[in-house]
A and B are shown apart, each in its own frame.
Chain A
Amino acid sequence: MIRNNKERLRKRARAEWRFRSYGILSLLFAGAALVFLVSTIVSSGHAAFFKTTIELEFPLGAERLNIETPYTRENLLAGNYYTAAKSSLYALFPEVTSRPEKRALSKMLSPGAELELRDYVINHPAEIGKTVTLEVPVSSDYDQLYKGHLPRTGTHTRLTEQEMGRFDQLVEEGYIHYRFNLGFLTGPDSRYPELAGIGGAIAGSFHALLVCFLLSFPLGIAAAVYLEEFSKDTRLTRMIEANINNLAAVPSVIFGLLGLAVILNVFGLPRGTPLVGGIVLALMTLPTIIISCRSSLRAISPGIRQGALAMGASPVQVVFQQVLPAAMPGTLTGTIIGLGQALGETAPLLMIGMVAFIANVPATPLDSSASLPVQIYLWAESAERGFVEKTAAAIIVIMTFLILMNLLAVIIRSRTQTKVE
């Protein structure tokens, strides 16, 4: 009997231990998955912040570049920099003479090389006739080879032995450099992975979020103030409340359909612009802002309201001069969290046409543009190997923005907490 009891106790203790370890294992799994996700993205994306360049000597003869005098912008733009860039590369390999070999060699240069040479000449017309040394980008395959992402052997290799040998020779002789790629953060998208940047997508996201904020912040606060301070408990009010809670749970594709059918087709706003994207995002962000603003309004002590009323303020004055300013920190926190969600939203933006290839950085919310998550989607769908690291790097950028926004929310929250105490 006693033995039996002991055994049962041991069994129960074991069950207790098992149950507890399920919990620990679950959390470990979630943590491990998070670490795995982040490390995958950082390890495949960090290289995109750097670019491989080749140092070449360019004799800037006017005849060689086929530039006509006077050196106006038009004449300089019309020059032939393609041949000039290639022949500078050939100069490093005097032994390469046959045409097919030359063609293969010229593929080492990115189309960006020609553009950088052109921009240099346009910005420094006085240098024409001299010889300058510039660092110009190499093409994506060589860039990936230098970064170690391209296998040197096997079926997936894209370069021949000879091509790799020539490149290795350049590396040994010190012509190849590894530089920080500022163009990735500021430049527009490109068909060539080594030239593609997220500057355009950042601008598009910024414009869309700006429109979203300008619409959803005042409207959300107004709706929250109405529901919390002025509404009577009527059927209409209850219906509005149910609707707000409901909208918070509607899938984002539905908002995309709404944007397409109503904002684009009925109101005829321009397709694929951050303006339309921002409106759709604002509708999705509204419930978040309303809910957070309402709960901070509710948390304001009734003393403030009564005091202000006792001093002769009208109800509207009480709300806008006393209660709402006091509820601002909580509202702002909720707004930032809502904007963070809007920043990561992809599907509705795809559906309202923010998917076009845009080769410049858009200047206003009325220029069609991509946005950060859409750019991630577009690059992820691209078959070119060079875009994998760009995608991961764009994810690093968007996650950095999200972390910064959340930090801001935490700071606002903690600062006001100390104030109250």
Chain B
Amino acid sequence: MTITQLVFVFFILVLASGVLGWRRIRVPQMAGGIRPRSRAVYHGFYNALWCALPMLVVVFAWLAVEPGIIRPLVLSELAASSALIEDNSAFKYVEIKNIAEGVLPSDSVDSTVMQAVRHYRVLQQQSGIALTILFIAAGLSGLYLGYRRLSHVFPAREKVEGFVRVFLFVSASIAILTTISIVLALAFETLRFFQHVPVMDFLMGTKWSPQVAIRADQVGSSGAFGAVPLFAGTLLIAFIAMLVAVPIGLFSAIYLAEYAHPAARHVLKPMLEILAGIPTVVYGFFAALTVAPMIVDVGHRLGLETSSESALAAGLVMGLMIIPFISSLSDDVINSVPYSLRDGSLALGATKSETIRKVILPAALPGIAGAILLAVSRAIGETMIVVMAAGLAANLTANPLESVTTVTAQIVTILVGDQEFDSPKTLAAFALGLTLFFVTLALNFMALHVVRKYREQYD
């Protein structure tokens, strides 16, 4: 059966069991029986749960187990005919799968592989039939077992509500599961990476060229995994972005919070929010198509050597993207400074700008610092702008007119397209990812800490 049909069967069975459970209580009640302990609708829900859960269990078990069974069976076919060498089993299996699914052409493979492909197809078909039978059997037996338990004295509501509470808790735990799986996945692949490349070479090396020779006799591409140029590039671009975003965002926030007429505020705040809502790929296109040529043009006129993909273009546009982030966070912080401070300063004869500079900003400083830290974490993690506008050359330079590359840009470039999952090049992306994850995590925690400390002063 196709997946669509399975889903259809699933819903039909669940609906049927719900209606059956509902009617089981409903009908005798109308005949004048005793009042049931729970309302009929809960009996329906209860029965539907009994039907649905076994089916879901079957599907997930099948998804988890099926490849593990089919794979050795298919590969044993190859092993018997000695076409299989120890290392390339994973590669061969993917090839067989792709041929069987029609992704790869089947005309240029030898007969043993073709036999394995046929074997794969047969097994796939058999496992599909087995799944269908198990799936429907699980649903029907669940339906029967659930239905048998229903009666007028059965506490269906309590049971259903108990399940609902468990479901709510499991949903809330998904956040933890996600974090754990991020850390585990990144850490696992990073450890494998460090089996190929020493930790110190990665963290301290100044040469990054992740191309690894595919054949052993290839020349000149041994692969170097020194991530320092990437860190430097990331910091350079983030720094340029902050040079744009911090003053403009901060002054916008001050103006909006302290000077602007409420009507003007109503227009200007959404304008800044539009900047925040624009997808980053759009900023990337803008940086590459408009801003970068403009910078090259200006650079030419000033007699400067400018790369067509410069750190400056990416940084400027990223700064533009981050302005609303800084302005809205700072706006909140400035607004939460108590009015008594403002009034006191104004009553002493200070002008508005003096009040802002000498009273409000110092009071709001920790919050603003927190906002800036969060913005830095944003800038470091930003991807599409740098992928499209900053280039891929890993130059170790502080010159904003040169092309640099960043951690995120490298992760994406390494992983776009087909990749071998065991090569150090692919694993390097995970090591970079782990670094990025911890740096942004640390920045967020620092920001939170700073902001929390600030709150204690006035509450």
Contact = CB atoms under 8 A, between A and B. Distances in A.
Interface of A: 12-13, 15-16, 18-20, 22-27, 29-31, 33-34, 36-37, 40-41, 44, 218-220, 222-223, 225-227, 230-231, 239-240, 243-247, 249-258, 260-262, 265, 267-268, 283, 286-287, 290, 314, 316-317, 320, 340, 343-347, 350-351, 355, 364, 366, 373, 376-377, 380-381, 388, 391-392, 395, 398-399, 402, 406
Contacts of A223: 168, 171-172, 174-175
Contacts of A44: 289
Interface stretch (B128-136, B144-152, B298-306, B351-359): B351-359
| Interface secondary structure of A, over-half rule | helix
Given A240-B173, A267-B63, A286-B174, A257 B384 contact: no
B172 A26 contact: no
A376 B429 contact: no
B161, B374, B408, B415 pick with most chain A CB within 10 angstroms: B415
B280 A30 contact: no
Contact of A254 (B251, B281, B284, B437): B437
Contact of A19 (B165, B275, B353): B353
Interface string B265-284: 00010011011011111111
B185 A355 contact: no
Contacts of B259: 20, 23
13 contacts: A26-B252, A30-B323, A36-B290, A223-B168, A240-B176, A247-B178, A253-B381, A257-B429, A316-B161, A347-B383, A377-B384, A380-B281, A402-B279
Q: Which 9 A-B pairs have the closest CB atoms?
A: A251-B381, A23-B255, A344-B279, A222-B171, A19-B353, A226-B168, A26-B251, A261-B185, A347-B383
Contacts of B323: 30
A260 B181 contact: no
A402 B280 CA distance: 13
A190 B295 CA distance: 32
Contacts of B440: 249-251
B11 interface: no
B80 interface: no
Given A23-B251, A33-B275, A254-B436, 12 more contacts: A18-B353, A20-B353, A27-B255, A30-B248, A218-B171, A220-B171, A222-B167, A247-B178, A251-B440, A252-B381, A257-B182, A260-B415
A34 B3 CA distance: 45
Interface string B418-459: 000100000001100100110011001000100000000000
B377 interface: yes
A280 B283 CA distance: 22
Given A15-B351, A222-B172, A251 B383 contact: yes
Contacts of A351: 411-412, 415-416
A380 to B, nearest CB: 5
A347 B280 CA distance: 9
A21 to B, nearest CB: 9
B344 interface: no
B194 interface: no
B175 A251 contact: no
Given A12-B351, A23-B254, A253-B408, A41 B282 contact: yes
Nearest to B168: A226
Interface of B: 3-4, 63, 67, 157, 161, 164-165, 167-169, 171-176, 178-179, 181-182, 185-186, 188-189, 247-252, 254-256, 259, 268, 271-272, 274-275, 277-286, 288-290, 320, 323-324, 351-354, 356-357, 374, 377, 380-384, 387-388, 408, 411-412, 415-417, 421, 429-430, 433, 436-437, 440-441, 444, 448
A404 B178 CA distance: 31
Nearest to A377: B281
Contact of B268 (A27, A220, A251): A27
A264 to B, nearest CB: 10
Contacts of B374: 249
A257 B426 CA distance: 11
A231 B172 contact: yes
Contacts of A355: 416-417
A30, A286, A317, A346 pick with most chain B CB within 10 angstroms: A30
Nearest to A226: B168
Contact of B383 (A253, A260, A340): A253
Given A223-B175, A226-B168, A346-B279, A30 B271 contact: yes
A202 to B, nearest CB: 15
Contact of B174 (A41, A219, A265, A364): A219
A275 B217 CA distance: 41
A27, A256, A265, A355 pick with most chain B CB within 10 angstroms: A27
Given A24-B255, A226-B168, A380 B412 contact: no
A267 B61 CA distance: 11
B353 A16 contact: yes
Nearest to A17: B353
A253 B416 CA distance: 12
Given A23-B255, A222-B172, A258-B181, A314 B351 contact: no
Nearest to A19: B353
Contacts of A402: 277, 279
A250 B251 contact: no
A232 to B, nearest CB: 11
B411 A253 contact: yes
Nearest to A283: B178
A27 B176 contact: no
Nearest to A26: B251
A36 B317 CA distance: 12
A268 B63 contact: yes
A331 to B, nearest CB: 14
A39 to B, nearest CB: 10
